[in-house]
Amino acid sequence: MVLAAGLGTRMRPITDRIPKPLVEVAGKTLLDHVLDPLAQAGITTTVVNVHHLADQIERAVATRQSPRVVISDERAAILDSGGGVAQALPHLGEAFVIRNADSFWIDHGQSNVTRLIEAFDPARMDSLLLLAPLAGSVGFDGAGDFFRHDNGRLERRGERDRAPFAYAGAAIMRKADFDGRKAGDIFSLNALWNSSLTAGRLHGLVLDGLWLHVGTPEAIGEAEAAIKAAADH
């Protein structure tokens, strides 16, 4: 599931004319930077939700075969991250990868999507989040989201000034986590993750690579410089 329905307000004025997932970084759209690693990890079908300038995204993915793209239409109302997934559940399996469309990474070794899939253990966890260390990440100016215990369990930053990890925009969740939620409900994935935190079943995997968060026009250049530097090495 790729969450691509946001308004991209921090990316204005670019997003006044194109949706944020179609912003190009190093000659490739953000959406392709997200979809290509999913295909490389063996994922054959991806649901992409659309709202802002939805026609452009539909055209961009219409002929893609790897992964094949199913559109989840949110033109009538934007449903937030959790509501977007809930509406798409009929197209998703018992467990599935969720990706944000405004960040990606450069793998250092094994595919991080593959690492996430292999590390997911539904006996111990509801959701497994990919975490980016703030140190060395590109384009992210926040205070971090999580602390991670040695066993992988997560704890939110809360009132503390900073946490060492940010949510990297990739997770594995279970269809069962959405029990009681229905298509059209508007809610954040954080509501479900908070329930899992309380139960000790929200876990995190640390990204092996360089995380690129592209949330503003300025971040485009930062990401492109990081990609060039990585290629030069």
At 10 the pLDDT is 85
Element (H, E) at 39: helix 30-40
Query: Quick check: bond before 133 cis, omega within 30?
Result: no
Pairing outcome for strands 209-213 and 103-107: antiparallel
Q: Residue holding tokens 């690492």?
A: 115
At 160 the pLDDT is 75
At 211 the pLDDT is 95
At 142 the pLDDT is 85
**Model pTM?**
0.93
pLDDT in tens, the chain (233 residues): 999 998 888 889 988 999 999 999 999 999 999 999 999 999 999 999 999 999 999 999 999 999 999 999 999 989 999 999 999 999 999 999 999 998 999 998 899 999 999 999 999 999 999 999 998 799 888 899 999 999 999 999 888 779 999 999 999 999 999 999 988 899 999 999 999 999 999 999 999 999 999 989 999 999 999 999 888 77
3-class DSSP state for residue 88? helix
- Distance from C-alpha of 34 to C-alpha of 101, rounded to nearest angstrom: 6
At 91 the pLDDT is 94
Helix 80-88 and helix 189-198, axial crossing angle in degrees, nearest 10: 90
CA-based nearest residue to 170, from 48, 52, 3: 3
Instruction: Spell out the residues 6+ positions from residue 158 whose beta carbon is closer than 8 angstroms to its own.
Output: none
At 7 the pLDDT is 86
At 123 the pLDDT is 94
Structure tokens at 53: 């300038």
Domain ranges of the chain: 2-232
Element (H, E) at 197: helix 189-198
CATH topology of domain 2-232: Spore Coat Polysaccharide Biosynthesis Protein SpsA; Chain A (3.90.550)
